[in-house]
Structure 1
């Protein structure tokens, strides 16, 4: 029988943050468990200082980099750490939501927090998720109660009365995306246009001033989306590319439907004949991935911040 613990830690200041995180880490180290701390840089420094010499025994990641795209956190951070320590319970502090996350990023953040429960349902371990209730909006804190079975505060630990089915709750954030702006460059995507897709994305990336490596990453990501439209989205789709809010944006729409809520978040088995690795790769390469999918069609928007 597996045991997975996924509490939210509600804190108001540095003292409460350390009071909730350091004992969690120290208990893991005392039990011989691998420990990962993936939190924003300022809080990472707090924990590292608080641990002292024990910090060398912990894997430390800046969530502002590793989790810039919320869709990257499950496959690239949490599941990757669990896979590196296969057969052992892992202990993780993950802080994917902080003051400053944009409204466009937030739905992907909540989906991530909810779907942790599904991804780790058959694994041993614990993932503690801190929430800065002094700086986050009240509705963000309310969502923490809905995505975490247990909530910890300075006064204790209790089951969340608002926690529900994680897949059902994540689906509430499967929200429609706005249409591309009038100035967007658009084209039809089909089996004969993939080279033109790559050429367009590369040209727009160069015009935006991206370096060659980031242009290559974004081109691969958009090419994956376009290829998925051809293979799984009815044979064709529509691509739009534009600049907005300091980001290069690409959006692909087609008539396909992504029925599996874990697509892009959990790598498929190596022997899988159904593919599914393309969206995982897209999440790794982009700074944000938003998906809106229904039986009538799917739109995926990807961003690379300039």
Structure 2
């Protein structure tokens, strides 16, 4: 197994058989446990069973999680990674994670969001003493997803052999090329602004959520998500935003558009990491991401466009089970 530095290591593993998965996973886990490092395997139940069987008595020291429940959305997934590291980190040692994404059954929008997250991890977790391997089962993942693995990871593991990914792309540039499925704003979408008044945005968000049939807690959380996103955009000097809202099947969508004379863009991966001990400028944006089904943020020159989608009243509650690492 290749030696790694002190910072974040992020590698893919493309496997097509159980034996190929174990050829990567067993040495990775075994070497970590032998060094006293915390090791997590967040993968499929079948792979967890295979890995435990191959490790024998050493399997008791391995932390495991079913990957389907280890963060349903990118913002939840990143929080789960950080919680595990914070809970299990040991001074002077790195943390090892096998983190297999779930691709089956995802919509085109969700697949695009997860591709962007895989790339974003290289920025969001940079400097963290974590070595992460992301396995991709080529028997089940779509072909474009397998190709994307080599663009979102600096290298891949073939058994114990580390192979640089020639297709690896700068995360910011890569994220800009991953297009989400088009969802044109209806011509009759309700709108307000431009305005610098958060109270006006709150009133508009509440009015549209009520009109869409949201009530009680879901109504309050929808308004909170919009206001936190708006607050982030309005924090820029002399900022004003226009807001539009419309309904799509199963969701209520809001678009916030900020235009300024000077370039006041936002970081590509802003708001993906949970708040730290000290208040940060992106804390509200993280909350908005956490409360939304999806949140897309794009900047081009002086224009910043933020689109968030909130589950509609007739959509079943889709809450992830709690992370096993508080």
8 Å contact kept, 1:6–1:148: yes
Is 2:147 aligned against 1:146?
no
Give the whole-Å Cα distance in 2 for the aligned partners of 1:294 and 1:142.
27
Q: Identify the residue that residue 81 of structure 1 maps to in structure 2.
A: 84
Structure 1 Cα separation of the partners of residues 134 and 254 of structure 2: 31
Residues 130 and 196 of structure 1, relative CA distance in 2, 3 Å threshold = same
What's 2:295 paired with? 289
- 1:195 matched to 2:230? The reply is no
Cα shift readout 1:34-93 (whole Å, capped 9, x = no counterpart)? 223334xxx14541564267666444444444432224432x122232233264411112
Distance across 2 between alignment mates of 1:92 and 1:190: 44
Question: What SS does the aligned partner of 1:38 have?
Answer: strand
Return closer, same or farther for 1:175/1:98 CA change in 2, 3 Å cut-off: closer
Give the Cα separation in 2 of the matches to 1:45 and 1:174.
Answer: 33
Runs of 5+ consecutive residues of structure 2 not aligned to the other structure: 316-326
Matched, 1:299 2:305: yes
**Count of aligned residue pairs for this structure pair:** 298
Q: C-alpha root-mean-square deviation of aligned residues, in Å?
A: 3.2
CA contact (8 A) 1:202 1:216 kept: no
Unmatched 5+ stretches in structure 1: none
Distance 2:26 2:243 in 1: 47
On the 8 A contact 2:40/2:63 being kept in 1, the answer is: yes
Query: Deviation per CA, 1:100-138, whole angstroms, max 9, x where unpaired?
Result: 322222332222112222233323221111112233333
Correspondence for 2:42 among 38, 44, 59: 38
In 2, Cα distance between equivalents of 1:14 and 1:233: 55
Structure number with bigger Rg? 2
Q: Match of 1:158? A: 163
1:74-153 alignment runs, 5 A limit: 74=78, 76-84=79-87, 85=89, 87=91, 88-153=93-158
Write the distance in 1 (CA, Å) between the matches of 2:138 and 2:109: 20
After superposition, the Cα gap between the structure-2 partners of 1:172 and 1:248, relative to the gap in structure 1 and judged at 3 Å, is: same
Describe the SS at the equivalent of 2:299. Answer: strand
Q: 1:233 to 1:183 in 2, by over 3 A?
A: farther
Normalising by structure 2, we get a TM-score of 0.76
